[in-house]
Chain A
Amino acid sequence: MEDLWFELSFFLEVLFSGLLTGSLYSLIALGFVLIFKASGVFNFAQGAMMLFAALSLVGFQEMLGVHWTVAFLLAFAVMVILAWCVEKFVLGKLVNQEPIILFMATIGITFFLDGFGQTVWGSDIKVLDIGLPSGSFDVGGIFIDKLELVGGATAAGLVVVLAVFFNKTKIGRALRAVADDHQAAMSVGISLRYIWIVVWTVAGLVGLVAGIMWGSKLGVQFSLSLIALKALPVLMLGGFTSIPGAIIGGLIIGSGEKLAEIYIGPLVGGAIENWFAYMLAMVFLLFRPQGLFGEKIIERV
């Protein structure tokens, strides 16, 4: 009996930790979804944007010695400028190109940002501390990491804000119109350029928040941009165009990965965390090629 209780609480602990890590994956995936929805661009640079935003935040904090809220605003301003530059110098020049070309262009942006961020702010591992709680607390024998809990709550809050933004504001409606049909949106007087800048800014903000969370967890370093790769299976699972999909996909991937590592890992030699998420998403896609909440793919000849 004692054993069973211990097993159960251990299982729950792993599950919670997985779910909370998953919500952090969702934060990255959110940025992808926003841009894909509004412009059909598969934005590979989301991870680099996250790293760049976090680097800027820490950089401003160190350089100016200001409170983190000021640094946050400055970093946000940097992301706005970045969004403008992306539209002006990259996407604006590639209107009407095939999706793969746009995808490649965002890989170009990734390289540029990785290099630029490290040129400006240096390549040491930086400690990001904005007073988020650390350590863990105990709920009936289950240990929950405080930082992850904050991350999960932030993700949830961000989704609510974004949902309101998309559904209630004028810009949000314009964004959805653009997502639906570029040409129709343009013909009713919505400026594509403006919308793209807005959507890249919002993605930059999401990246900044994700960067703060991951940065507090692991330190601000180059490998953060690799974590963004983990957001890809999350996206696939949830569907490229669905915000709830990104969240639920993140939760499934996060918990699945942790549980698999603990319960299946030892059977095959461990360290399966690296690929399990991708395999899970791939097997899942075999049954539902457009992801959980993705729009149904209708093919016409």
Chain B
Amino acid sequence: MFYREAGQFKSSYKEDQAIFPILQDRLGVGLVLAVAFFAIPLFGGEYFISAIMIPFLILALAAIGLNILTGYAGQISLGTGGFMAVGAFAAYKFATWTMVIGQFEGTMPLVMTILLSGLVAAIVGILFGIPSLRIKGFYLAVATLAAQFFIEWVLIKFGWFTNYSPSGIITAPPLEILGYVFSSPAEKYLLTLSFVVVLAMAAKNLVRSHIGRGWMAIRDMDIAAEIIGFKPLQTKLSAFAVSSFFCGVAGALWAFVHLGTVEPEAFGINRSFSILFMVIIGGMGSIMGAFIGAAFIMLLPIFLSNVPPMIGWDIGVDMVSHMEFMIFGVLIIFFLIVEPHGLARLWSIGKEKLRSWPFPY
């Protein structure tokens, strides 16, 4: 009843191709953005913002990146953590690099640093994407593990990447844009949010463009896509590049905004897996699914570790972490059985229902 497009006429192609063609969607997105930009920084507690919202947004960004590769282009990757690490360490190298250009001497602006580190990650992504032209399916998943372990090893082994810090840990410089330093959790949150919103919109637009349709064609059947004129080389490698760009930016944000100090182990194989879970639980081939999946995977452990003490059931810390594993596993299986296409699919079913609500049809 409230969610139907009846009466909303479009009189130009531009309106027809709008990213959110229905008024209710626009209102909904506007409302979410308003809450995210104003309500949360104003009313959210420090813990909520810095321990939940910031990592949630960054992981959602990484999940969008992996979703582009796995959900849209159909190339399974277990190397997400590695690409995030590339982003983080590239950002560190750029940020600590003193440039001398004519009269100017100083470090690179923050926004440029983060975007450039995304580009570096994209280049590395292309390199590790090359095997995808020959290797398909699960074989590729294992090949991307090579990327994961190799990148981790390189970053630990060669001191140049950490500016020869003896512990192998990098410390991010203060976050400064045009002389303004982002230091409080709310400010850092807004910085992250801006990056995530812009990039999520870009991704949303990208996947409905020519490039995105190419990815989906390759996903559905690569030979058929080749026959109708999508070049596998460009299409697959562009998916790897864009995906790694997103992961790289997410990695840079993770290091600079969320953690502040970072070691390569923070981007280990478990990170790759957790992001893959986000994509699959949230819904493959859905930008919104990346957010839902990230929220789910982020909040579940917090929920699980807080509930038993809350209801007065005291079990050891050890036990809690084991229980967490078990419940996590069961929930993954449960969701796959109930809705193999992810939580985003539940949302779109809900939307269908909302159209005719309160009537059954």
Contact = CB atoms under 8 A, between A and B. Distances in A.
Contact of B135 (A94, A285, A299): A285
B269 interface: yes
Which 10 pairs show the lowest CB-CB distances between chains A and B? A115-B325, A112-B329, A111-B329, A108-B332, A115-B326, A278-B146, A275-B149, A108-B333, A282-B143, A119-B322
A99 interface: yes
Interface in B268-307: 269, 273, 277, 280, 284
A107 B142 contact: no
Given A108-B333, A301-B223, A240 B138 contact: yes
Contacts of A110: 329
A286 B329 CA distance: 34
A64 B335 CA distance: 38
B138 A99 contact: yes
B319 interface: yes
Contacts of B324: 115
A299 B136 CA distance: 11
A269 B337 contact: no
Contacts of B138: 42, 99, 103, 240
Nearest to A102: B336
Contact of B149 (A90, A93, A118, A274): A274
B329 A94 contact: no
A112 B340 CA distance: 19
Contacts of A285: 131, 134-135, 139, 143
A281 B146 contact: yes
Interface residues on A, range: 35 or more
Given A229-B269, A240-B138, A275-B153, 15 more contacts: A42-B138, A90-B333, A90-B337, A98-B340, A105-B332, A107-B332, A108-B332, A108-B333, A116-B326, A119-B319, A275-B146, A275-B150, A281-B146, A282-B143, A285-B135
A272 interface: yes
Nearest to B327: A115
Contact of B329 (A115, A229, A281, A301): A115
20 contacts: A97-B336, A97-B340, A98-B340, A101-B336, A101-B340, A105-B333, A107-B332, A108-B333, A110-B329, A111-B326, A123-B318, A229-B269, A235-B142, A240-B138, A269-B157, A278-B142, A281-B143, A289-B134, A289-B139, A301-B221
B33 interface: no
Given A94-B337, A281-B146, A112 B330 contact: yes
Contact of A286 (B135, B224, B327): B135
Interface in B121-171: 131, 134-139, 142-143, 145-146, 149-150, 152-153, 157-158
B332 A111 contact: yes
Contacts of A109: 329, 333
A282 B333 CA distance: 30
A115 B330 CA distance: 10
B52 interface: no
Interface of A: 42, 89-90, 93-94, 97-101, 103-105, 107-116, 118-119, 123, 229, 232-233, 235-236, 240, 268-272, 274-275, 278-279, 281-282, 285-286, 289-291, 297, 299-301
Nearest to A120: B322
A270 B153 CA distance: 10
Contact of B158 (A99, A101, A269, A301): A269
A179 to B, nearest CB: 16
Contacts of B227: 301
Contacts of B142: 232-233, 235-236, 278, 281-282
Nearest to A112: B329
Nearest to A235: B142
DSSP majority for the B interface? helix
Contacts of A236: 139, 142-143
A123 B324 CA distance: 14
A297 B146 contact: no
Interface in B322-361: 322-333, 336-337, 340
A114 to B, nearest CB: 5
Contacts of A299: 223
Contacts of B145: 229, 232-233, 278
A50 to B, nearest CB: 16
Interface in B209-232: 221, 223-224, 227
A90 B333 CA distance: 7
A269 B158 CA distance: 8
B98 to A, nearest CB: 27
Contacts of A274: 149, 152-153
Nearest to B227: A301
B88 interface: no
A145 B318 CA distance: 36
B146 A282 contact: yes
A110 B276 CA distance: 15
B247 interface: no
Contact of B280 (A100, A240, A269): A100
A236 B134 CA distance: 13
Tell which of A90, A105, A290 has the most Cβ of chain B within 10 Å: A105
Interface string B310-324: 000000001100111
A116 to B, nearest CB: 5
B77 to A, nearest CB: 12
A123 B134 contact: no
A27 to B, nearest CB: 18
Contacts of A105: 332-333, 336-337
Contacts of A42: 138
A281 B131 CA distance: 11
Output the residue of B138, B227, B323, B324 with the most chain A CB within 10 A: B138
Given A110-B329, A112-B333, A301-B227, A123 B322 contact: yes
Contacts of A103: 138
A279 B150 contact: yes
